[in-house]
Amino acid sequence: MDHKRVLVTGASSGIGRSIAELLLQQGFDVLGTSRDPETIKNKLSEVKYFALDLQDPKSIDALVPKLGDIDILINNAGQGQIGPLEEVPIEKVRSLFEVNLFGIVHLTQAILPSMRKKRNGLIINLSSMSGIFGVGFTSVYCGTKFAVEGMFRSLRQEVRPFGIKVVMIEPGYVSTGFEQERFIDKSSDYYENAKIFKAIRDHNIETGVPPQEVAEKVLFVIKQKDPKPGYPVGGDAPRNAFLSRILPVRLVEWFQRRKFSKK
C-alpha cells in the first residue's frame, strides 16, 4: 500500500479525519480537503490539506490540477438536514444536493480520466443507511443519498472495464459532530413529531459507533481485490440493510415509524 495516493474529502474531522489517520498508519500518501484548512484544529502533520467547497464548481476546478494522480478517491464530505420536506426552502434543497451529489460527481468526473488512463483506481463513497430506505424528516438528505447510490452503482458498471472499482460505504449512526441544518418551527403542524424524531436521532448519533469503525471498513474495502458494491457498517446497519431487501416495503416503513415514535 506504500505510496498509494489517496484523496479524502472532508478530512478535517469526524469520519474523514479517522480515515486519513488510519491510512497514514498503513503507509498511504494522504491528501485531505476542508472548506477552510486554516481553521483545522490538531492537523495530521503528514496530511497535505487543500481547500475545497463542493458547492462551488470553481473551487473543484481549481483543486484538481494541484493534486496530481490519485489512486483512491474517498468522497466523504457532506452535510445533513432535519425538517419536514414541505417546510425546507427550495434553495436549501438545492444547496444540499450541490454538496452531497453534484459536487462529488463533479470531483469524480475530474479525477476519472487519470484513473482510466492508468486502467486502475478505486472510488469509495461515504453514503448512508439513509440511501437504502427513507426516513421521515430527513427527506432531502435521504434524497441525496438515494441519488448517490443510484448514480455511483451505475458508474461502477461503466468503469469496471478500465480496472476502476466503485464502492459504497453505508454507515448507520456514527458518533461525530455531523453538520445538520435544522428546519423545525414551533408554529408548524409537524413540530411535535419532528421534535420527537430529532430527540431520538440525536440520541442515536451520540451513542453511535466511533468513526474509527467506519475507517476500518474503508481500509478493508481497499484491501479487497474485487469489493462488493456496498458495505453497511456500524451497529445494526448490516442487519437493517439485509432486512430492507427481504421484507415487504410496508413492514419496513412500519419499523421506521415505530423506531422514531414516542415510546
Active site residues: 12, 127, 141, 145
Task: Pick the closest to residue 37 from 48, 22, 28 (CA basis).
Answer: 48
The 3-class SS string of 137-168 reads CEHHHHHHHHHHHHHHHHHHHHHHHHCEEEEE
Q: Is 209 left (phi over 0), alpha (psi -120 to 50) or beta?
A: beta
Q: Three cell numbers at 16?
A: 474523514
SS3 content of the chain, % helix, strand, coil (to 5): 50, 15, 30
Q: CA–CA separation, 208 vs 171, rounded Å?
A: 10
Q: CA–CA separation, 132 vs 245, rounded Å?
A: 9
Q: Are 101 and 34 in contact (CB under 8 A)?
A: no
SS3 30: strand
Q: Are 122 and 169 in contact (CB under 8 A)?
A: no
> For residue 126, what is the enclosing H or E element?
strand 121-126
